[in-house]
Amino acid sequence: MAARSIASLTISFGLVSIPVKLYSATQPRGGVSFNLIHKKCGSRLKQQYICIKEDVVVERAEMVKGFEFAKDQYVIFTPEELKELEERSTGSVDITEFVPDEKIDPVYYDKAYFLAPDKGGAKPYALLAEGMRKTGRCALARWAARGKQYLVQLRPVKDGLIMQQLLYADEVRPISDVEIQEAPVKEPELKLAIQLIDQISAEEFNPKNYEDDVKKRIETAVQEKVQGQEISVSPAVPAGGGAQVIDLMEALRASVGKAGAKRAEPAEAEPPAAERRPPKRAAAAQSTGKARVKAGRR
């Protein structure tokens, strides 16, 4: 089924304007969602908001939005004030600079979109894409939509352009926030690690090789439940008392041997030539043999 455009935009490239259509590049299905049910009667529950001071249910018409500037102290904003603060959507993607592709860390990647040329935009679209391919650069741009301003990356792929929504700097934590202990790496260990990496390496990423096994397992269980079947529950396994201490060299050697043995597994041996005869010929040969035996008996 052909993809459906979700918006029409204009890429601003210097004094050049490129009309494009915007498409969602992904369709995340997420996990299987469950509803909260009243155990006693089996009815679905609904969410309510409770005032923590008066302990009463508050209807939506009585709700306003506020920002907590100090403990339990809020400034209130009206819908009109919030609307005034929103970014005006212009439908324009304004390129601000070009940077080398590899200079953008994938940790900044957020949602992705496909861009296709709109009416009259095929030539400048192709020119921008090819220009970025030749220079090895991608474009950084600003895009306003849904009341917000987004930082986006335009990058060329084989068949066109992808607009990648990026996170802002204050939305990404530095890895220095994580405590990582330093440890010396010995040369024999490094050689075995590299050997293991080489053994289980592939030249390209094929996403079709991976599936969400947990989601499939839950969907199967749901169907079994619908059909009235009971789900077997495994006995609880006591939690371990920390990570298991292993001999790193022995673990690497065993891993290399296991990976090597897996690659060396022979394919299924072909049957002998006599067994590979077409069924009809084999049947015919057997019939002829039986006929000869009968003739001999006569």
Look at the chain and report how many structural domains it folds into: 1
- Encode burial over 101-124: b for 16+ CB neighbours within 10 A, e otherwise: eeebeeebeeeebbbbbbeebeeb
Domain-located, residue 58: no
pLDDT of residue 3: 83
Whether 286 is in a domain gets the answer: no
φ/ψ of 79, rounded to 5, equals: -55, -35
Confidence of residue 243 (pLDDT cuts 50, 70, 90): low
Contacts of 167 (CB under 8 A, 6+ apart): 107, 108, 109, 110, 151
Rounded Cα distance, 80 and 83, in Å: 5
110-142 tens-digit pLDDT: 999 999 999 999 999 999 999 999 999 999 999
- What is the full DSSP assignment across 135-175? HTEEEEEEEEETTEEEEEEEEEETTEEEEEEE--GGGS--G
Range of the domain at 137: 7-27+86-171
List, as one string, the DSSP characters of 217-230: HHHHHHHHHHTTPP
**Percentage helix, strand, coil, to 5, in the chain?**
35, 25, 40
The structure's pTM equals 0.69
- Evaluate whether residue 243 is within a structural domain: no
Q: Look at residues 144, 49, 139, 137 and name the one whose alpha carbon lies nearest to residue 90.
A: 144
Kindly report, residue by residue over 61-115, the tens digit of the pLDDT: 999 999 999 999 999 999 899 888 888 888 899 999 999 999 999 999 999 999 9
The reply to whether 279 falls in a domain is no
CB 18 within 8 A of CB 11: yes
Rounded to whole angstroms, the Cα distance separating 236 from 4 reads 47
Contact by Cβ (8 Å): 57, 50: yes
The residue type found at 4 is: R
Examine residue 72 and state whether it is found in any structural domain, yes or no: no
CATH number at residue 23: 2.40.290.10
The answer to whether 256 and 199 have CB atoms below 8 angstroms apart is yes
Closest of 19, 13, 36, 262 to residue 139, by C-alpha:
13
- Residue 47, domain member (yes or no): no
Separation between Cα atoms, residue 153 and residue 142, nearest integer Å: 9
Q: What percent of the chain has pLDDT over 70?
A: 83
| pLDDT value of position 55 | 93
Q: Is residue 111 part of a domain?
A: yes
Judge contact between 271 and 279, C-beta under 8 A.
no
The region that residue 176 occupies, defined by phi over 0 for left and psi between -120 and 50 for alpha, beta otherwise, is alpha
- Has residue 166 been placed in a domain? yes
